[in-house]
């Protein structure tokens, strides 16, 4: 392995420059900023790494870049590894909370600061640079494909249609997902699945105009109605009260429970790091059991009436809220929407409307698949630390359509070059160059091992 470690180390300056160029290009899907320019840049990055790129734009939405790299003369042409990445990033606002320009990609104290450095431009750069190293030193050990989309940060609304239309292009034996990071102890964190999502918008209209608050003596308040409707859906001990919400949640196997119990979770460190004012809501139970396996219902935001400086005595005419439900395997976002609608009707909130903003089903790989262990073993070699592998991420991404169109037994593992304080989606997003280098080595070792399997 020493020779590969040396080759990766020699590659770091070139790879870092490529990362900076990529991060300096804005690509904000939510604001439709820089999308076409970024597609062109990604296409060039693929071709510079020795691959063939094809821009897919025949399914609606932002284009997907498909890339393919053929196994070398000494490689295994019967093995294909698929990488999933996205080129879009979150909006950089609030701009005044950035220490360095969000699209400056400046390096300070061994870190690259930029919107998208961690989520997800660093990981695509790592993977393409690893391929370049292998191409220049004997050729690729297997076939490699990429699906690089431009709508992940807005819920991947077009990806389902893309995979449905172009499934044959993306067929592979296994898949490496977009993200991963080191925990505070320096252990690489990886996941082999992802939760689903049912993102809802609820709103209540009580009048045509805002009213003087003195009318609260006789006129109902849209804000109170919405607050009461929301409160009816979750108990004070955080049990979701919507009838049937948990019906499709499969019982946990002893293996899944053991995985959760065996993995570390430093609750005190989390409390201090985040400045939590309240205890964890899981009580004495292992937090991993909830983060990995439990569905959730979270109020993401509420808006009503007057919230500006000083006082304005107003009875709001309307109120709205955004609610996300993280789903586990077997739960269907459309079904959850229908159950929430029935709950509101049953409890007399017929004046509260609800709609589905976006939805995604959960996906979980077979933890016993040899590929899953291969990713863990090669990570241990690259990082010199025991990886932390979770069966499911607490977050959501478009993993389910990969199983739907490319095979439900497709093993998917997510690993990447972030760190515990990368601040993805927040000001001062960053990656550390030492992690960037180790992640590159991991991809080199993984590709070599995959070609041999």
pLDDT in tens, 90-100: 999 999 999 99
> What pLDDT score was predicted for residue 267?
87
**Which of 221, 190, 201 is closest to 417 using CA atoms?**
190
CATH code that applies to domain 2-192+365-452: 3.40.630.10
> What pLDDT score was predicted for residue 179?
95
284 falls in which pLDDT band (50, 70, 90)? confident
> What pLDDT score was predicted for residue 400?
96
Three-class SS state of 388: strand
Residue 268, pLDDT > 90, answer no
CATH 3.40.630.10 range(s) for the chain read 2-192+365-452
> What pLDDT score was predicted for residue 263?
84
Measured distance CA(184)–CA(95) in Å, rounded:
27
Residue 1, pLDDT > 80, answer no
Q: Sort strands 352-360 and 193-205 into parallel, antiparallel or unpaired.
A: antiparallel
Measured distance CA(206)–CA(220) in Å, rounded:
7
pLDDT tens digits for range 102-125: 999 999 999 999 999 999 999 999
pLDDT tens digits for range 184-193: 899 999 999 9
Question: Which residues, 6+ apart, have CB-to-CB distance to 217 below 8 Å?
Answer: none
Measured distance CA(90)–CA(431) in Å, rounded:
16
Residue 393, pLDDT > 90, answer yes
The pLDDT mean for the chain works out to 96
So what CATH class is 196-249+295-360?
Answer: alpha beta
Q: Percentage of the chain surpassing pLDDT 70?
A: 100
> What pLDDT score was predicted for residue 269?
85
Measured distance CA(243)–CA(333) in Å, rounded:
15
> What pLDDT score was predicted for residue 274?
83
> What pLDDT score was predicted for residue 87?
98
23 falls in which pLDDT band (50, 70, 90)? very high
Measured distance CA(22)–CA(87) in Å, rounded:
9
149 falls in which pLDDT band (50, 70, 90)? very high
CATH 3.30.70.360 range(s) for the chain read 196-249+295-360
> What pLDDT score was predicted for residue 401?
96
67 falls in which pLDDT band (50, 70, 90)? very high
Copy the structure tokens of residue 352: 């509260």
pLDDT tens digits for range 323-378: 999 999 999 999 999 999 999 999 999 999 999 998 999 999 999 999 999 999 99
Please say whether the beta carbons of 352 and 194 come within 8 A. no
Measured distance CA(203)–CA(222) in Å, rounded:
9
Residue 155, pLDDT > 90, answer no
What's the average model confidence in pLDDT over 248-267?
90
Residue 37, pLDDT > 90, answer yes
Q: How many CB atoms lie within 10 A of CB 268?
A: 7
**Which of 413, 407, 412, 397 is closest to 156 using CA atoms?**
397
Measured distance CA(415)–CA(365) in Å, rounded:
14
């Amino acid at each position: 392995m020493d020779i590969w470690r040396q080759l990766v180390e020699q590659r770091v300056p070139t790879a870092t420059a490529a990362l900076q160029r990529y991060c300096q290009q804005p690509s904000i899907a939510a604001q439709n900023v820089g999308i076409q320019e970024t597609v062109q840049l990604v296409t060039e990055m693929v071709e510079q790494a020795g691959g063939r790129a094809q821009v897919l734009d025949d399914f609606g939405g932002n284009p997907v870049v498909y890339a393919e790299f053929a196994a070398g003369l000494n490689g295994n042409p019967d093995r294909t590894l698929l990488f999933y990445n996205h080129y879009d990033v979150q909006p950089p606002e609030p701009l005044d909370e950035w220490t360095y320009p969000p699209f400056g990609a400046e390096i300070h104290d061994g870190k690259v600061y930029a919107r998208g450095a961690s989520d997800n431009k660093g990981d695509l750069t790592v993977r393409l640079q690893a391929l370049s190293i292998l191409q220049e030193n004997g050729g690729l050990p297997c076939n490699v494909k990429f699906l690089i989309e431009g709508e992940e940060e807005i819920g991947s609304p077009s990806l389902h249609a893309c995979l449905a239309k172009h499934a044959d292009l993306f067929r592979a034996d296994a898949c490496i997902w977009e993200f991963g990071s080191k925990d505070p102890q320096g252990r690489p964190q990886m996941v082999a699945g992802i939760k689903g999502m049912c993102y809802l918008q609820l709103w209540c209209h009580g009048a045509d105009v805002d009213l003087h608050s003195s009318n609260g003596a006789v006129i109902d308040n849209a804000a109170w109605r919405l607050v009461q409707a929301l409160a009816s859906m979750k108990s004070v001990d955080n049990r979701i009260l919507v009838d049937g919400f948990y019906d499709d949640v499969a019982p946990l196997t002893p293996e899944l429970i053991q995985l959760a119990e065996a993995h570390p979770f430093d609750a005190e460190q989390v409390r201090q790091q985040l400045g939590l004012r309240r205890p964890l809501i899981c009580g004495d139970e292992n937090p991993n059991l909830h983060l990995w396996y439990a569905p959730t219902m979270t109020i993401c935001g509420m808006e009503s009436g007057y919230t500006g400086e000083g006082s304005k005595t107003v009875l709001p005419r309307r109120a709205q809220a955004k609610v996300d439900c993280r789903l586990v395997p077997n739960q269907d976002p459309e079904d959850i929407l229908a159950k929430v609608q029935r709950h509101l009707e049953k409890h007399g909130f017929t004046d509260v409307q609800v709609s589905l903003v976006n939805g995604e089903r959960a996906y979980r790989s077979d933890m016993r698949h040899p590929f899953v262990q291969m990713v863990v073993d090669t990570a241990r070699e690259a990082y010199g630390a025991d990886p932390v592998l979770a069966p499911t991420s607490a977050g959501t991404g478009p993993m389910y359509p990969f199983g739907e169109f490319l095979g439900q037994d497709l093993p998917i593992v997510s690993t990447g070059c972030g760190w515990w304080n990368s601040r993805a989606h927040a000001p001062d997003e960053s990656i550390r160059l030492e992690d960037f280098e180790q992640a590159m080595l991991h991809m080199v070792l993984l590709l070599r091992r995959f070609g041999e399997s």
